[in-house]
Structure 1
Amino acid sequence: MAGRACLLLSLNHQLIALQTLRLLHQQDEDARHSEKKEACGSLALSNPDGPGAKDSREPGPARPQTLTQIAVHSMLSRIVASTSQLVSVEQTLLLPLFQEHPFPIHLKDSVEFRNICSHMALQLEGQQFDRDLHAAHRCLRSIVEKLIHSLAVSPSDVYATAKASLRQILQNLPEM
C-alpha cells in the first residue's frame, strides 16, 4: 500500500477508535450523573420526618464508587485525551510532513487499537472491559512509541516538533 494511503488509513482507524472511546466516556459520565440524580431523589423519599423536615445526610451516589471504578474512569479519561492528542498531531504535523519526508507507518497497531476499542464498547464494565482498557493503553503507547522511533530514523530535524508532541503524549499517558 502506498505510504500516504497507509498513513491516512491508520489515521482513520484511530479516528474510529477515538469516536468509540468518546462514546464510552460519555456513557460513563451519564451513568455517574444519573446515579447522583437518583440518590438525591431517593433521599427525599426516605426522609422519615416528612417532606418539610431537614435531612442532615449529604446527597451522593446511590452506590459508593470503588477505587477500581474510579481508576477505570480516570484511565479511560486519559486514554481519550491521549488518543485525541495523537490524532491531532497526526493531522496537523505528521500528515503534511509525510509528503515531503516519508517515514514507516505501522498500520497493524492502529487496526488493533480500533478493534480493542470496539470490543470495549460491547463490554461496558467488568473484568473483560478492564482487560480491554489495559490492552488499549498498551496499544496506544505502542503506536506513539513506534511513531517516535520512525521519526528518529529520519535525518531531518523537520520532525522535532512532532517528536516533542508525541513524547508529551507518552508523558501524559500513565504507566500501568
Structure 2
Amino acid sequence: MADPATLLVSIRHQAGALHTLRDAAAPPSSPQPPAAFPHPNLQCWQTALHSKMSQLLEATSQLVQVEQTPLLPLLQKHPLPLHPKDSIQFRNICSHMAFQREGQQFERHLHEAHQCLKTIIEKLICSLPVFPSDSYIPVRSALR
C-alpha cells in the first residue's frame, strides 16, 4: 500500500513528463522552410499527430491536477496500492519523444505515451474503491 510520498513521487514524474510534452509540442526553434507544394496526406498526418499530442497534454495535465488536489488528501487517510513504475515509464517515453519530434519513432512514442497514461489512469480508477464511496466517486469522475 502506498502512502502520500509514493503519490508525490508519481506526480513528480508525471509533471516532468508534462513539461517535456509541452516542450515537444512547441514549434521548433529553427523554423523549417515550407514545402513548395505540401502533400495533402502529410498535412493530414501532421494535424492528426498534433491533435493526439494535444489530447495527451490535456489528459496528463488533468491527471496531475486530480492527483494533487482531491486524491492526495484521501491518501493521508487511506493507503492506496500505487507504484510509481508506470509514471517513470511515462516520463521516459515523453523524454524520447522530445528528442524525436517527427517521423515514425515520434509517432510510436506518442502512441506508447498515450497507452501508458491510459494504464496509469485505469490503475488509479481500479484502486479507488478502497476509499469510502462518498470520497472516491468525485475522483473517479474526474479521471474519466
Please give the range of the TM-score, normalised by the shorter of the 2 chains. 0.7 to 0.9
The CA distance in 2 between the partners of 1:2 and 1:77, in whole Å, is: 31
Q: What residue in structure 1 maps to residue 113 of structure 2?
A: 136
Aligned to 2:55: 78
CA distance in 1, matches of 2:141, 2:54: 22
Say how many residue pairs are matched: 142
CA distance in 2, matches of 1:101, 1:26: 39
1:96-138 alpha-carbon deviations (Å, 9 max, x no partner): 1110122111311100000000011111111011000000000
Amino acid at match of 2:119: S
Structure 1: 5+ residue runs without aligned partners? Answer: 40-59, 168-176
Map 1:2-151 to 2 at 5 A.
3-27=3-27, 34=31, 63-64=38-39, 65-151=42-128
How far does the alpha carbon of each residue in 1:131-173 deviate from its partner, in whole angstroms, 9 at most, with x for none? 0000000000010111000002434421111110001xxxxxx
Give the match's secondary structure for 2:76. Answer: helix
Aligned-pair CA distance for 1:68: 1.4
Q: Which amino acid aligns with 2:114?
A: H
What secondary structure does 2:27 align onto? helix
Percent identity over the alignment? 53
In structure 1, C-alpha distance between the alignment counterparts of 2:131 and 2:2, rounded to whole Å:
18
What's the TM-score once normalised by structure 2's chain length? Answer: 0.88
Distance 1:6 1:102 in 2: 10
| Partner SS for 1:100 | coil
Greater C-alpha Rg = 1
- Tell me if structure 2 keeps the 8 A contact 1:79–1:137: yes
Distance in 1 (CA, whole Å) between partners of 2:89 and 2:36 is 35
Show structure 1 runs of 4+ deviating over 6 A: none
Q: Secondary structure of the residue that 2:45 maps to in structure 1?
A: helix
TM-score where L is the length of structure 1 = 0.73
Structure showing greater relative contact order (alpha-carbon pairs closer than 8 Å, 6 or more residues apart): 2
Verify the 8 A CA contact 1:106 1:146 in the aligned structure 2.
Answer: no
